[in-house]
Each structure stands twice: as structure tokens, then as C-alpha cells.
Amino acid sequence: MARTVTTLTRFNMTSLALGLAFLYLPIVILVIYSFNASRLVTVWGGWSLRWYHEFFNDRAMLEAAWMSLSVGAVSATLATLLGTLAAVGLARGERFRGRALFSGMLYSPLVMPEVISGLSLLLLFVALNAERGFWTVTIAHTTLTMCFVTVVVQSRLTALDRSLEEAAMDLGCDPVRAFLLVTLPLIVPAIVAGWMLAFTLSLDDVVIASFTTGPGSATLPIRIYSEVRLGVKPEINAICTLVIALIAVIIVIASFASKLSSARGESAAPL
Amino acid sequence: MSARRIFARPARLAAIAPYLWMVLFFLVPFGFVLKISLSQTAIAQPPYTPVFDFTEGRAALAAAFAQLSFDNFHLLISDNLYILSYLRSLVVAVTSTLILLLIGYPIAYGMARLPQRWQAVAMMLVIVPFWTSFLIRIYAWINILQHDGLLNQMLLALHIVSAPVVWLSTDSAMYLGIVYSYLPFMILPLYATLSKLDASLLEAAGDLGASPRQAFWLVTFPLSLPGVGAGALLCFIPIVGEFVIPDLLAGSSSLMIGQTLWLEFFTNKDWPVASAAAVALLLLLVPPLVLYDRLQRRQLEAGR
């Protein structure tokens, strides 16, 4: 009798299959149509690389892509550094004054509407008289993505067996050496996954970048967004497919990292 | 002193740099939003008359306080446009969260019942779209929904409709886009609670004579409520301030508050009103944000 309650029913299978199809089908269609030879997006004109060619000859688009990749790399690196430090403070710092404020500042950007973060950072940059462009976008993205890094690394740190680093200290390591020799190697996979996540989030953002960038330095999503507002263009399909391919590579690396991490410890980070 | 406490001190020192960073780039900017929301619009660059100028001493500060302007907030409540967009944001966020729950729950439930080995695969499949660019996923839908897009072609070919249906620039397209984008955020916390559910509780319910349906409503669902709460907050809060999805998929007849803010800022160049809209939006979000913060802290710091 109990068996009927816990096993998979046909309803469960159907909802799962439909759900996954819903998540993936649009992306698959987009990728297929990026190889469409026809200018009309909806008419299939045979396979072709024409739109990729077009993209690689589109100077403005390439510049935007370069801007996005460099903003992504620099901000993800900064975010990983700061986010890991924050995670160490939260997971190992016990109680300290301002802890609630600290965790609040780190958790709320995860859900904060981007229009608010973007507008508030822009007003800060204007007040500081900072020239808007690469660095302002990078700082804005660092601020957002370091929170995601913190969550990933913190959940790894709390799952970690603390007796390991305590043993290292009993054996004469000072805390910093115990951290560098014992803790850090164990959380490297989470840190790698955090960097990847930060990079993809930065590569994805339209709203915050629109607020904080200056004239002449548009990121790729900003350009895609302004093209999309005018309608569907086959070249955009090609660009999107390239971005998806890049992200797929990143996901493979990140999941490899988290597999390493779960091989070494019990549970991997949730993201 | 225990090793744990000796370790805590350098760990706290490590937090100093990110602490300062977040104060400077997250907390302080809200001060500027508040400040500018209280100043007058001006045709200048930047387009507002500052209220506080701390360099000019206390007398100037007092004078500034005297001319603090609540005009922008007054405008927000007196002009229908703002109230309507405020309400619309709420309606859209509540409706989408409910739809997400209705769709996400069965999926998460199905995932939790898969054999262990397949659960990891299903989890991965749900997470991957979360990594894939959100703008690209909306764009993928525009491809499908446009006038001569795949959906209309299919419906025409199957003789379900006789003329192409207008899908883009409608509320249904917007809801579709929102549900599509936020579905992983709903599924993951639901799955997290459902997969931890003790199966023996269900067996016990079955042994005591509950039908599977009764067992679900009396045991599974109540126990999954923390996941429902987390998923709902994770979706509701960002959807209220959503800009890109309604901008690309919904019609322009009624705007959400995020769109109004964008319009005031970029098109009308009225920074004070945009800031006032941001403050109003933030006030609305404070209670769910506090709830969310508490949930997140409990989850991340469990086992301490």
C-alpha cells in the first residue's frame, strides 16, 4: 500500500517532462534558426553560417562583446575575491557587531529589483563625479555578483567539517596558515563555481549596465536589447547562440568543479 | 581559548574589505536616492537641484532642510499614472507568483520522486536555464510569438486559428515571459524542501488509511510550506520591479513601476521623480525583503 504513495506516478512524469520541454524548447528553436540562410526569420532557407559572418564583420557589436567580456572577467574576479572574504567572515567569524547588517547587505541584492540597484549606483557615481564607462559598470557588477559568490562559498564553508582546520591549529598552524593549507583547498571548487556564476551574471545584465555606463561604451546585452526592441534580426540569433555556447562551456567547467567538491565533501553548493 | 575562537578573529578581519565595499556601493547609494527624491527637478546636468551641500556648514544645512521638497512624492500620489503602475506591478507580481507556484510545484514534486541518480540530472537541467542569459531567453520567445512566428504558423497549419493571432505586446506574452524566466527560482527551493521530506511519514499516513491525495494535502503540502514561502519571495520581490520582460513583451498601454522609473529616468530625464519612484518601490519591498533575509540566514547558517 505504501508503495503507491511514494513512487513516481504518470502525473509526476508528465509534469516533469512538460516542464523541462517548456524550459528548453525556445532555446533550441533559437539556436536552430541562427543557422537559417533566409533573411526572413520565419522562413527556413537551408543551413548557413551567414549570420555568424555578419556578426564578425559588425564592428560595433564586436566592440560591445569585447566590453562585456572584459567587464565580466574583471568584475567576476573582484567579486570572487570580495565574496570569498565575506563568506569566510560570515561562516567563521562567529558573532560580531554589525553582522546582521552585513548579511542583510549581502543577501538583499540577490532579489533587489535591478532598476533600484542601477539607479542608486548611478546617483552615487554622479555625486562622486566619476567618469562613466568601463569602471563604473565593473564596480556595479562586482557589487551585485559578489553576493552570489558569498552565498555559494558560504554554503560550502558551513557544510565543511570544522574539525579539520581545528586539528591543523592544534598541530601548530596559526589561523591564517590553517585557512590557506586546509580550508582553502577544500573550497576551491565552490570559488571556481562562484567566479563562473559571477561572470555569466555580468554577461547577462542589461538594466544595471544601462544605468551605470557612459556614452560610447555599451555592453553586449545593451546592444542586443536595443536591437531586440526594433524586432527580431537573424544576426541577433547568431550572437545569442554564441553567448549560449560560451555559457555552456562555463556550465561544464562549473559543474565539473562542483562534482569535485561533492566528491571531497558531502553536499555541493546549491547553485 | 578554543581553536574555533582563535580562528574567528582573522575571519572577522577578512570581512572588513567586503563590508566597506557593500556600505559604499550598496548602502550609501540609497542615501543618494533618498536625497535626490527630495530635491527639485532642474534642466541641468545632472538634472536636479541638490538639497544638501555639506560643505557649506550648518546654516546652509538648516536652509536646505527648510526647502526640502516632497513635490516628487506628491506627484506620485496625485498622478494616476504612478498609482496605476504601482498597482499593476503588485497585480502582475502576485498573479505571476501564483502561476509559478501552480506550475513549479508539480515539477518540483516530480523531481523529488525521481530515483536518486536522476534527481541530480533533473536538478542540473533546471539550473542550466538559470545560467543562460535571461535576455536571450526572452528574445527566444519573441522569435516564437511574433506575427509570423512558429506558434502562429503551427496554429494555422493545424487549422486551430484562421488568421495569425497577436501574441506580442499582450499581457499573456508578458506572463509567459515572467513564468519562463522565474520558473527555476520557484522550483529549486520547492525541490529542496520536498526532497528532504521523510518518506516514512507518507507511508505512515497510508498505513493509517489516508488515500494518496489525502496524504498529500495533510502531510506533504503542509511540510513543504517553507519551500513555498522561499520560492514565492524569490519570485515576488524581483518581479515587482521587473523592467525588461514587460518592456519587451507587454503592450505599452499600462506600465509597471520599473518601467515608469526607467521612462522618467531615461526618456523624461526627471531624476528626482525616478528616485521618488525607487523609494516608493523600495518601501513596498521592505517587508518581503526582511522576511527573505531571515529565511536566507536560517538556511545558510543552519548547523552553526
Give B252-299 pLDDT, tens digit per residue. 778 898 998 998 888 888 888 889 889 988 888 888 988 888 887 887
Q: What is the band of A261 on the pLDDT scale with cuts at 50, 70, 90? A: low
CA A215 to chain B, closest CA, distance in angstroms equals 13
Q: A104-116, pLDDT tens digit by residue?
A: 899 889 889 999 9
The pLDDT value given to residue A16: 83
Contact state of A111 with B233 under an 8 Å Cβ cutoff? yes
Q: A206-233, pLDDT tens digit by residue?
A: 999 999 998 878 999 999 998 888 877 7
The pLDDT value given to residue A211: 94
**Whole-complex ipTM:** 0.86
Is B53 domain-assigned?
no
Sign of CA dihedral B168, B171, B172, B177: positive
- Which stretches within A213-265 are classed as H helix? 220-229, 234-264
CATH of the domain at B250: 1.10.3720.10
The pLDDT value given to residue B44: 55
Pick from B22, B140, B292: CB nearest A27: B140
Residue B15, SS3 per DSSP: coil
Contact B50, B32 (CB under 8 A): no
Q: Does A107 touch chain B (CB under 8 A)?
A: yes
Q: Is the pLDDT of residue A174 over 80?
A: yes
The DSSP code for B51 is S
Contact state of B202 with A2 under an 8 Å Cβ cutoff? yes
Of B88, B91, B105, B93, give the one whose Cα is nearest residue B235.
Answer: B93
Q: What total of structural domains would you count in chain B?
A: 1
B240, closest residue in chain A (CA to CA): A113
Is B170 domain-assigned?
yes
Interface list for A 131-170 with B (CB within 8 A): 139-140, 142-143, 146, 150-151, 154-155, 158-159, 162, 165-166, 169-170
Q: Does A61 touch chain B (CB under 8 A)?
A: no
Q: Is the pLDDT of residue A3 over 90?
A: no
pLDDT over 70, % of chain B: 89
Is B267 domain-assigned?
yes
Residue A114, SS3 per DSSP: helix
Q: What is the band of B303 on the pLDDT scale with cuts at 50, 70, 90? A: very low
CB atoms within 10 A of CB B139: 22
Contact state of B33 with A123 under an 8 Å Cβ cutoff? yes
Residue by residue, DSSP assigns B53-113 as -GGGHHHHHHHHHHT---HHHHHHHH-HHHHHHHHHHHHHHHHHHHHHHHHHHHHHHHHHT
The DSSP code for B49 is E
Contact state of B289 with A111 under an 8 Å Cβ cutoff? yes
Query: What is chain B's Cα-based Rg?
Result: 25
Compute the distance between CA of residue A79 and CA of residue A85 in angstroms, rounded to an integer. Answer: 10
Q: B97-135, pLDDT tens digit by residue?
A: 999 999 999 999 988 888 888 888 888 888 877 777 788
Contact state of A115 with B278 under an 8 Å Cβ cutoff? yes
Q: B148-169, pLDDT tens digit by residue?
A: 788 888 888 888 888 888 888 8
Q: What is the band of B214 on the pLDDT scale with cuts at 50, 70, 90? A: confident
The pLDDT value given to residue A139: 96
Domains of chain A by start residue, with CATH: 59-264 (1.10.3720.10)
pLDDT over 90, % of chain B: 22
Contact state of B140 with A240 under an 8 Å Cβ cutoff? yes
Contact state of B32 with A120 under an 8 Å Cβ cutoff? yes
Contact A79, A139 (CB under 8 A): no
Contact B249, B142 (CB under 8 A): yes
Is B18 domain-assigned?
no
The pLDDT value given to residue A269: 41
Domain, as residue range, for B292:
71-300
Chain A residues within an 8 Å CB radius of B138 = 228
In terms of Cβ atoms closer than 10 Å to its own Cβ (0-12, 13-18, 19+), residue A255 is middle
CA B218 to chain A, closest CA, distance in angstroms equals 13
Q: Is the pLDDT of residue B230 over 60?
A: yes
